[in-house]
Structure 1
Amino acid sequence: MMVSPSYGYDAFSVAQSGMSANVTSGTLETSNVNLTDQMTQQISAQNSVEANAQSVKTADSMMQSLLDIKA
């Protein structure tokens, strides 16, 4: 996952110090995820996995052919 300014900032606080965020009941937080970008990244990652799997299959086939020739 790539970090960008849209993810916000890191906030650290000491436990029991009263310096942390407040929880407000009866409210909803808006989504901070762009679904279009995330879906595009997921499709790209899936294509990469499929390409890598095909590379492994090809290497396995080549190794099997080499072993068949030696035998």
Structure 2
Amino acid sequence: MTVEEIAERLVAREQCVSVAEADTCGLVGYLLSTVPGSSKFFPGGVIAYTGGLKQSVLNVPDAVYQEKAASALK
């Protein structure tokens, strides 16, 4: 499915989507914003790359962040 098809479905359903990104560093939000009229379905997102931002802005519990960070290093 292309980003344009996703946009069409969201608009047809009168829905919107926001993103919270880390490892993608904003790529998903960027792709959504390239569709003309994207403000109809994409109000924006957050790029929280570091643990501190994930915890303070996105309310990711410290235990979850530590567990996922440890498994990523394996």
- Please confirm whether the aligned pair reaches a TM-score higher than 0.5, indicating the same fold: no
More strand by percentage: 2
Greater C-alpha radius of gyration? 1
TM-score (norm 2): 0.19
More helix by percentage: 1
